[in-house]
Structure 1
Amino acid sequence: MNSRKDPEPAAPPLSREERELLEKASIVMQERRDTGLDGLVGGLDSVILATGTDRLVPAVFELLRYTGLTITEAFFDTESESYVLGLPGSASLIVRSREGTGNPFYGANKGRLTGSLPNTRLETFVFTTPDLLQYIEIQKGRGVRFLTDSPLESASCSFIQTTPSPFTGNSLGFIEWKTGKKSYVPRGGTAISPDLAKPASTHLGNIGVLDHAATRVRAQDRLAAILEFVSLTNHHYDFGVYVRSLNSITSVARREKEDFAMVFTSGIMPFSGDGESGPTEKFIQNYGTRVHHMAFRTERIESTVNSLAKDGMEFLLDIVGSKEEGLKQIFSEPSRNTLIVNEYIHRYGDFDGFFTRSNVEKLTEATGKQ
């Protein structure tokens, strides 16, 4: 097997846009150091995914059926019903119901194909912090806006989240745990016994932690979206893969090598029409700026995918990549309940990169089927 060393960055010389992004990202990271933000944001704690009340239970069961996650907690609060799904070593997934017109994400959810699911999206990425009040004070001084004036308090944690980004439609949350025993039940919430069981399917044990998530952003907002994320977290911009034939760039921000990575996929040129703009910009026209997929690290990927298919999962393409290239990946069809695609990804032991250019091109092309 060949060891792939950093296969993903765009080949030199870098484009003017890429040089500008790297320079500005360096400035943002220096500002993080100067303002005392470095070290105030840790890894990804959890992800909040909202769906309509009638689709909540189907969405949760779908995740139990097609990932390694299990239910760790469930509760009611004044606004919704929520299920928490987890796996050791992975960020948790909080699936909640959302209805009504007071949804701060409502505008970002609009697209040509989202009319029947106006409240459905992966809304918030929640990161840990050792000192939430200090983080809030610094970021408010820099003009960052939050959905609440002060943190939401519970017996287990303090939590706050930003207003939805004008570039991604996503919010970033920050949580400080007060106790060793974690519980997401908010103050005034009521814990309940979940009435859903995980299927006893052996292949689900091959599906592991949340590896990365990918948000689709408009071409003209790529730089701003990445810089915003870097300024709010302890991630850094790593590299971009240009697929010019499909008018698409896949950009990766990472904290440390084994940590959750945030991926941004955008057009190279802004949308000008369905026929010529490529699958990334067309996706945004159809669904709005939003998270396109969640990727789960997967062992025995061929047999696991075969078993998922036998259990009813449909895929946008066949497995791409090879052991010789160091990486294999596949996209599922998007969920009818969450609009999210599941990616299953396997990196071989001596693979020293994150993506391969050929895989990115094939996966990007497959999104045109949505």
Structure 2
Amino acid sequence: MSTFRNDDDTLRAGAEEVLKERRRLGLEGLVGGLEAVSIRVEPGDLVPAAREFLERTGHALADAFDQAGERCCLLRLPGSADVILRAGPLRDNPFRSYNYGPKSGHLPDTRLETFIFRCGDVRRYAAIQKERGVAFLTPEPLETSAFLFIQTRPSAYTGNSIGLVQWKGTPGRYRGDGCADLDLPLEKPDKAHLKDILELDHTATRVHARDRDPAILEFMGLTGYHFDFAVHVESLNSITNVARMPGGGFAMVFTSGIEPYSEDGSSGPTEQYIHNYGRRVHHMAFHCRDIRPVFSALKADGMEFLSELVGSPGEGLRQTFSRPSKRTLLVNEYIERYDGFDGFFTKSNVTLLTKATENQ
């Protein structure tokens, strides 16, 4: 029987060492905020997945193009990270081995794959990280007329990749050289509640209990993020861990078990999710201006949810989880904060929401 159990003091000590190393190597300040998330879907799911985002978030279609046989949709909302949807034939997908599970194996290439961050000097960044032993998908940064770009190989702990982009001119032009326009049957619905769904607030990646500390420390070593806090829910064998950039903005959440998965059915919904779907991003959270009418309108449009709204102005926030998309496997979280509250949940909220994932 395993005696492993996560301990926040150990994680905080490791986080201090990572910050010291970032400063020593000259990485501190080199990586900025999140520019985009890149989501791959199966070849026949590009248009339906894009339509889901148009109907369920504030993002609108900004560009659609073909890049050497790979079709891409760029979804954009001012003040938010972009969403890039990609689909196309793959000879060798480095993410595929992370995608298999009893409930995800039918979509072998579907995944939120890459978090793309601004970088002041991609070549310098890559050289420093290679000295640290970081492996990238290409030997050198990809250079186009619009940007320099490099991304890490998928993490052994999360299955996610970190991308670094250095813009040459106008930021946000993701087309490589020689891309062709795509004419897709996509249109943003003109519905009032979509204007109240705002920026991408955070995402949550589910990782094994033993991988919690390595996953967070690895992410800190690749970005400018700091470990902020963790909330333990003992009854559900779950820890929600938050990493943030100084000054705020998009947050990265890692959810793990307190103790490892066991076969006896007592592992809790977080470890059970990983058993069913593999290590991956569980949900994308969108900040809302007025969540109650947004929630009602989304339900009226046929969107299904794992929970009702939880929380209140008195607690500082309200939030809910949708059912996972059949196209992306991602859950949408909708969240509204009140009176300057800057957290992501209360302990009662995170307990209710974590438990709601048992329903998927």
Q: TM-score, normalised to structure 1's length?
A: 0.94
Provide the rounded CA distance (Å) in 2 between the counterparts of 1:268 and 1:353: 21
SS in 1 for 2:252: strand
Find the partner of 2:63 among 40, 62, 73: 73
Asked whether the equivalents of residues 51 and 97 of structure 1 are also in contact (C-alpha less than 8 Å), the reply is yes
Provide the rounded CA distance (Å) in 2 between the counterparts of 1:257 and 1:346: 19
Q: Does 1:261 align with 2:251?
A: yes
Provide the rounded CA distance (Å) in 1 between the counterparts of 2:285 and 2:345: 12
What's the CA shift for 1:154?
1.7
Asked whether the equivalents of residues 252 and 262 of structure 1 are also in contact (C-alpha less than 8 Å), the reply is yes
Q: Which residue matches 2:319?
A: 329
Q: Which residue matches 2:355?
A: 365
Provide the rounded CA distance (Å) in 2 between the counterparts of 1:358 and 1:98: 42
Q: Does 1:344 align with 2:334?
A: yes
Q: Which residue matches 1:33?
A: 23
SS in 2 for 1:264: strand
What's the CA shift for 1:361?
0.6
SS in 1 for 2:20: helix
- Could you tell me which amino acid in structure 1 is paired with residue 256 of structure 2? S
Q: Does 1:279 align with 2:272?
A: no
Find the partner of 1:289 among 279, 287, 295: 279
What's the CA shift for 1:219?
0.4
What's the CA shift for 1:155?
1.5
Provide the rounded CA distance (Å) in 2 between the counterparts of 1:251 and 1:212: 12
After superposition, give the CA deviation of every residue in 1:299-320 in whole Å (9 maximum; x if it has no partner): 1101110000000100000001
What's the CA shift for 1:258?
3.0
Q: Which residue matches 1:198?
A: 188
Asked whether the equivalents of residues 315 and 333 of structure 1 are also in contact (C-alpha less than 8 Å), the reply is yes
Aligned length: 356
Q: Does 1:59 align with 2:43?
A: no
What's the CA shift for 1:278?
0.5
SS in 2 for 1:118: coil
Provide the rounded CA distance (Å) in 2 between the counterparts of 1:337 and 1:290: 15
Q: Which residue matches 2:290?
A: 300
Q: Does 1:239 align with 2:229?
A: yes
What's the CA shift for 1:195?
3.0
Find the partner of 1:46 among 29, 33, 36: 36
Instruction: Map 1:157-196 onto structure 2 (within 5 A).
Output: 157-180=147-170, 182-196=172-186
Q: Does 1:122 align with 2:118?
A: no
What's the CA shift for 1:113?
1.0
Q: Which residue matches 1:5?
A: none
Provide the rounded CA distance (Å) in 2 between the counterparts of 1:16 and 1:212: 23
Note closer, same or farther for the CA distance 1:343–1:65 as it changes in structure 2 (3 Å cut). Answer: same
Provide the rounded CA distance (Å) in 2 between the counterparts of 1:253 and 1:203: 30
Q: TM-score, normalised to structure 2's length?
A: 0.97
Note closer, same or farther for the CA distance 1:322–1:42 as it changes in structure 2 (3 Å cut). Answer: same
What's the CA shift for 1:350?
2.7
- Could you tell me which amino acid in structure 1 is paired with residue 354 of structure 2? T
SS in 2 for 1:325: coil
Q: Does 1:107 align with 2:97?
A: yes
The share of aligned pairs that are identical, in percent, is: 52
Q: Which residue matches 1:309?
A: 299
SS in 2 for 1:334: coil
Find the partner of 2:144 among 145, 148, 154: 154
Note closer, same or farther for the CA distance 1:111–1:75 as it changes in structure 2 (3 Å cut). Answer: same
Provide the rounded CA distance (Å) in 1 between the counterparts of 2:61 and 2:339: 30
Asked whether the equivalents of residues 6 and 258 of structure 2 are also in contact (C-alpha less than 8 Å), the reply is no
Q: Does 1:353 align with 2:343?
A: yes
Provide the rounded CA distance (Å) in 2 between the counterparts of 1:328 and 1:341: 17
Find the partner of 1:215 among 205, 208, 221: 205
SS in 2 for 1:42: strand
Asked whether the equivalents of residues 72 and 84 of structure 2 are also in contact (C-alpha less than 8 Å), the reply is yes
Provide the rounded CA distance (Å) in 2 between the counterparts of 1:79 and 1:146: 22
Q: Which is worse superposed, 107-116 or 315-324?
A: 107-116
Provide the rounded CA distance (Å) in 2 between the counterparts of 1:168 and 1:122: 11
Provide the rounded CA distance (Å) in 1 between the counterparts of 2:65 and 2:282: 27
- Could you tell me which amino acid in structure 2 is paired with residue 43 of structure 1? G
Note closer, same or farther for the CA distance 1:227–1:188 as it changes in structure 2 (3 Å cut). Answer: same
Q: Which residue matches 1:135?
A: 125
Provide the rounded CA distance (Å) in 1 between the counterparts of 2:18 and 2:24: 10
Q: Which is worse superposed, 197-206 or 350-359?
A: 350-359
- Could you tell me which amino acid in structure 2 is paired with residue 243 of structure 1? V
Provide the rounded CA distance (Å) in 2 between the counterparts of 1:274 and 1:85: 43
After superposition, give the CA deviation of every residue in 1:188-238 in whole Å (9 maximum; x if it has no partner): 322334431011111000000000000000001000000000000000000
Asked whether the equivalents of residues 47 and 184 of structure 2 are also in contact (C-alpha less than 8 Å), the reply is no
Asked whether the equivalents of residues 73 and 194 of structure 1 are also in contact (C-alpha less than 8 Å), the reply is no
Provide the rounded CA distance (Å) in 2 between the counterparts of 1:274 and 1:110: 22
Asked whether the equivalents of residues 67 and 207 of structure 1 are also in contact (C-alpha less than 8 Å), the reply is yes
SS in 2 for 1:43: strand
Asked whether the equivalents of residues 99 and 119 of structure 1 are also in contact (C-alpha less than 8 Å), the reply is no
Note closer, same or farther for the CA distance 1:30–1:79 as it changes in structure 2 (3 Å cut). Answer: farther
